[in-house]
Structure 1
Amino acid sequence: MAARHEEIAGELRRAIDREEYAVGSRLPSETDLAAHYGVSRGTVRQAVAALTAEGIIGSRQGARRVVLASRRSQSFAELRSFAQWARAMGREATGRVVAQEYRPATTEDAVRLQLPAQARVLYVLRVRGLDGEPVLLERTVYAGWIADAVAALEPDCPSVTQRLYDETGLVFAYGEHVIDAVAAGAQDAELLGVRRTSPLLRVRRVTTTHEGRPVEWSEDRYRSDAVSFSVHNSTANNALARKTAE
């Protein structure tokens, strides 16, 4: 059974997700929250500390806490799969493989995955959905050493990341992400149910193991009306970098 402060933290997360407390707004005072939940201020303080540690609310001594983010945004503060992020919001993640083939590595594949030219890789085009609604296209290239394990998964596997961990012990430990905007092409529009040239958020990412061995590289295209991204940075830890368009 969860401790009371964990239950309160969960209720506050859900309230923030429902935008009862919008990003940029202030939470009620500890005194007001304690009265609302019928607990001591110390219990509220523990609940608030959990949300602060997650980057959902800001910490400022002597002031009411400000809401920084909700789990509706996919944050890069931690490396989560799409399915893990969906579950955190209480949503159901779906996946469907549209195309899958082994092929020789292109020049870009070889560079991103640190492979010899023409090495065998697995290309997968997958549609991802939230509660059955398509929101993301993943065009992923897997290094040959993990390709057979990916190819053996069922086409509608909701979480490749979790299944590979369960079956092979593989941990997707590090990721580099480049985010920009592109117009939907004909295939994008058909699979996502949007108009051609609609704006999509594009994320190009390379994921590696703890040892730095590349696992995959992917170009992901999100419907801009369905998903947003947040980056939490500070003067002490700034993971955000600006780049010119390539």
Structure 2
Amino acid sequence: MTRRHQQIAEELRLAIADGTYPVGSELPSESELALAHGVSRGTLRQAFGTLQSEGLIGSRQGARRTVLSTTPSQSFAELRSFAQWARAGGRTPGGLVLGSRHAKATETEAAQLHLTSGDAVLHVLRIRTLDGEPALLERTVYAGWVAAAVERLPDDCESVTQSLYDEAGVVMSHGEHHLDAVAAGTTDARELAVRRGAPLLRVRRTTTTPDGRPVETSDDRYKPESVVFTVRNSVQANPLVRTAPD
């Protein structure tokens, strides 16, 4: 059941997306919105907190919330699937497996998945969409122990993360991400509807269970302007690490 603050967050999210509150504008005051929605300020602040976590609004002490972006961002402070992120932003996610094959793990894949070189793995090429438009091409390598569960999922499975949990009890708890830019190759260009050589945001990620057992490692390539990633840091906590290119 959707809670009231989630409903309010969704209404404000849609109002931001359709230009009712453009970037740089201020939202109505807490008292005005609380009265309009018939809720307490505490409930309203929960809704504001959701929108702030998505990078849509910002706040300063003594000032009204300001619209910062019309595109919900994905924060690296939490681990959410593509489908979960999309739905939180009022978007409709989709997915389709374009191809899959069994293979023997390369040395690199074995190291990432804590396997021995030559162990069985499953390669899956999957296109992800937002509101019916291509947004992301995933090249995922699954460890052999989870391969059968992955293959049982329908090709148009909306959320692999949720389905693996529901069907096989697999919990994806931790993720390591490496971001860089790459030029679109032939397959990227065809599936993402961009020109060959166009810049893409690449996120290489490895996801593990709560006890640290790797489930998958993936090379994800995002179409320009399809998503914004956000890293929030401070002098007390800095989740962002600069490394030399591989």
The TM-score by the shorter chain falls in which range?
Answer: 0.7 to 0.9
Greater CA drift, 179-188 or 12-21: 12-21
**CA offsets per residue over residues 129-184 of structure 1, 9 Å max, x none?**
12222111100000111011112222222211111010111111011111111110
Gaps of 5+ in 2: none
- Equivalenced residue count is 243
Query: Hey, what's the Cα distance between the residues in 2 that align with 1:209 and 1:69?
Result: 33
Please state how far the C-alpha of 1:2 moved relative to its aligned partner: 6.4
| Aligned residue type for 1:72 | P
Q: Secondary structure of 1:178's match?
A: strand
Please state how far the C-alpha of 1:6 moved relative to its aligned partner: 5.0
| Aligned residue type for 2:14 | R
Choose which of 41, 48, 70 in structure 2 pairs with 1:51: 48
| Aligned residue type for 2:53 | G
Please state how far the C-alpha of 1:233 moved relative to its aligned partner: 2.8
Greater CA drift, 78-87 or 50-59: 50-59
Contact 1:9 1:48 (C-alpha < 8 Å) held by counterparts? no
1:1-150 correspondence to structure 2 within 5 Å: 7-22=7-22, 25-34=25-34, 37=36, 39=38, 43-52=40-49, 55-56=53-54, 57-67=57-67, 72-150=72-150
Query: Hey, what's the Cα distance between the residues in 1 that align with 2:236 and 2:68?
Result: 17
Contact 2:173 2:209 (C-alpha < 8 Å) held by counterparts? yes
- Against the structure 1 CA distance between its residues 192 and 3, is the aligned structure 2 distance closer, same or farther, given a 3 Å change threshold? closer
Q: Which residue of 1 aligns with 2:193?
A: 193
Query: Hey, what's the Cα distance between the residues in 1 that align with 2:92 and 2:3?
Result: 26
Contact 2:10 2:90 (C-alpha < 8 Å) held by counterparts? no
Q: Work out the percentage of aligned pairs sharing the same amino acid.
A: 56
- Against the structure 1 CA distance between its residues 210 and 196, is the aligned structure 2 distance closer, same or farther, given a 3 Å change threshold? same
Contact 2:13 2:89 (C-alpha < 8 Å) held by counterparts? no
Q: Secondary structure of 1:80's match?
A: coil
Gaps of 5+ in 1: none
Query: Hey, what's the Cα distance between the residues in 2 that align with 1:30 and 1:51?
Result: 10
The RMSD of aligned alpha carbons is 2.5
- Against the structure 1 CA distance between its residues 48 and 24, is the aligned structure 2 distance closer, same or farther, given a 3 Å change threshold? farther
Q: Which residue of 2 aligns with 1:215?
A: 215
TM-score computed with the length of structure 2 as normaliser: 0.87
**CA offsets per residue over residues 44-72 of structure 1, 9 Å max, x none?**
35312442266244454333234456663
